[in-house]
Amino acid sequence: MSSALPQVREILASVRLDPVRYAIRDLAVLAEDMARQGKEILPLNIGDPVLFDFCTPPHLIEAAAQAMRDGHNGYAPSPGVGVAIEAIRANAEEEGLRNIQSIFITEGVSEAVDICLTALLGPDDNLLTPSPEYPLYSAILAKLGIQKKSYRLDEANNWEPDIEHMASRVNKNTRGLVLINPNNPTGAVYSRSTLERIAEIARRHNLVIFTDEIYEKLVLDSESHIPIATLAPDVAVVTLNGLSKACLAPGWRVGWGIVSGDAAAVRPYVEGIHKLLRARLCANHPLQYAIPAALQGPDEYLHEAVRKLRTRRDLVTAWAKKTPGVSCVPPKAAFYAFPRLDIEEDDETFVKGLLKEKNVLVVHGSGFDQPPPYRHIRIVFLPREDILQDALNRIAAYLRERAP
Ligand code: PLP
């Protein structure tokens, strides 16, 4: 009998995962290595307000804790608990959504996107996604083996979608389009005329609009955010939202989807969504009881969060204005700025160098599917002003040292 150990045969991951990238967390792994070596990293990479000086509102915590004390600790109904769904419906109707055909609660917007795309897309279908893009959508499409077709966000037009380009990307296999409004990574809020033109494209080609409005309540200036579903009650729209951002509870993993549109047209699709909702049992049960508190309770905490974010946004835009080699469309919402850098190297090399030499962690634009030759970085402006200013000074110094 041979005593040699059998040769290791690797268990390979699916080839479908080859295109999956999540630069935001991938870079964090590098930063964690550095932190283990004793380096203090300034993290301007992850959009989690609770990591900074923002706290989950006590009335939401109390609503969730009370639900646990009240015994809501078993499985919930698959679409979600009734009082939470009714609170979402009342809020949506108040915002002007009509023809609501289904509301369902999920483990964050992330699970809602997974379920809604899986329920819609078949092997030959394709979906329009923005470039730059929050990478969740591409990751799910890769997992499903579905082709994505990127449409351009136009930096020269305040990062609004390039409508002609979007229309030109539609073919006979296109089933839907993704809209992130307010936008991650650009901080843009889309105008009524842009939204009307997008609705018209969807109407003409019978597309489902997936509108990710998770930053809806974090608009920093006076203009308002318009949910596209309110402009197109006849078009199939899935409006996505949740507690992660404006409600300052990302770790709770609570989100939801609202399907609106013509009842007869969307019925089979809604049935598909509910089939998948049942197959995964339910979302977090007791935490769903925080939804009525979030949508109907006091919102002073939100005004306070917006006030802080506005000051921090202004700090980043002022820095971008005065720093050679940087230009930035001022973000109007959320907590992201997406400045363009005038640098020789590619943006990923820049970001890794910045991390190693200045201990500042940002994410490169190409990590958001922003194609070359552009060189952008995404800056999360959640940190306190002193920390943010320190990080911005270091980025400026790094740029200066590399200037020709
Ligand atoms: N959609 C966008 C545009 C995001 O920026 C994020 C998180 O950063 C998510 C969805 C994830 O939302 P959730 O935490 O509800 O899964």
* Separation between Cα atoms, residue 42 and residue 31, nearest integer Å: 9
250 in Cβ contact with 222 (< 8 Å): no
**Cβ of residue 49 lying under 6 Å from some atom of ligand 1:** no
Q: Calculate ∠ Cα 81-87-91, nearest 5°.
A: 145
Q: Can you list the domains of the chain with their CATH numbers?
A: 15-55+300-402 (3.90.1150.10), 58-296 (3.40.640.10)
Distance between Cα 45 and ligand 1 center (Å) = 14
Distance between Cα 14 and ligand 1 center (Å) = 25
Give the pLDDT confidence of 345-361 residue by residue, as tens digits.
999 999 999 999 999 99
In DSSP terms, 333 is beta-bridged to: 219
Query: What is the average pLDDT across 275-299?
Result: 97
Residue nearest to atom 5 of ligand 1 (CA): 184
Residue nearest to atom 3 of ligand 1 (CA): 184
**Cβ of residue 114 lying under 6 Å from some atom of ligand 1:** no
Q: How many residues does the chain have?
A: 404
Instruction: Choose the residue to mutate in 45, 115, 136 for probing ligand 1, maximizing ligand atoms within 8 Å of C-beta.
Output: 136
Query: What is the pLDDT confidence band of residue 2, given thresholds at 50, 70 and 90?
Result: low
Distance between Cα 109 and ligand 1 center (Å) = 6
Give the pLDDT confidence of 8-42 residue by residue, as tens digits.
889 998 888 887 877 777 788 889 999 999 999 99
What integer best gives the mean pLDDT of the chain? 95
Q: Give me the pLDDT at residue 16, please.
A: 85
**Cβ of residue 47 lying under 6 Å from some atom of ligand 1:** yes
Residues near 136 by Cβ (< 8 Å), separated by ≥ 6? Answer: 109, 110, 113
Q: Give me the pLDDT at residue 3, please.
A: 64
Complete DSSP assignment for 238-290: EEEEESSSTTS-GGG--EEEEEES-HHHHHHHHHHHHHHHHHT--S-TGGGGH
Q: Give me the pLDDT at residue 4, please.
A: 75
**Cβ of residue 255 lying under 6 Å from some atom of ligand 1:** yes
The more confident residue out of 404 and 150 is: 150
85 in Cβ contact with 79 (< 8 Å): yes
Q: Give me the pLDDT at residue 30, please.
A: 86
Query: What is the pLDDT confidence band of residue 1, given thresholds at 50, 70 and 90?
Result: low
Q: Which two tokens stand for residue 148?
A: 């994505």
Percent of the chain with pLDDT over 90: 89
Distance between Cα 400 and ligand 1 center (Å) = 34
**Cβ of residue 239 lying under 6 Å from some atom of ligand 1:** no
Query: What is the pLDDT confidence band of residue 180, given thresholds at 50, 70 and 90?
Result: very high
Instruction: Choose the residue to mutate in 214, 218, 369 for probing ligand 1, maximizing ligand atoms within 8 Å of C-beta.
Output: 214
Helices marked H in 343-384:
347-358
**Cβ of residue 212 lying under 6 Å from some atom of ligand 1:** yes
- Looking only at the bridges linking them, the beta strands covering 126-131 and 147-154 are parallel
Q: Give me the pLDDT at residue 22, please.
A: 73
Distance between Cα 121 and ligand 1 center (Å) = 21
Q: Which two tokens stand for residue 87?
A: 């609170």
Residue nearest to atom 10 of ligand 1 (CA): 109
Residues near 182 by Cβ (< 8 Å), separated by ≥ 6? Answer: 188, 189, 213, 215, 216, 218, 219, 225, 332, 333, 334
Query: What is the average pLDDT across 102-128?
Result: 98
Distance between Cα 221 and ligand 1 center (Å) = 21
Q: Give me the pLDDT at residue 195, please.
A: 98
Query: What is the average pLDDT across 222-227?
Result: 90
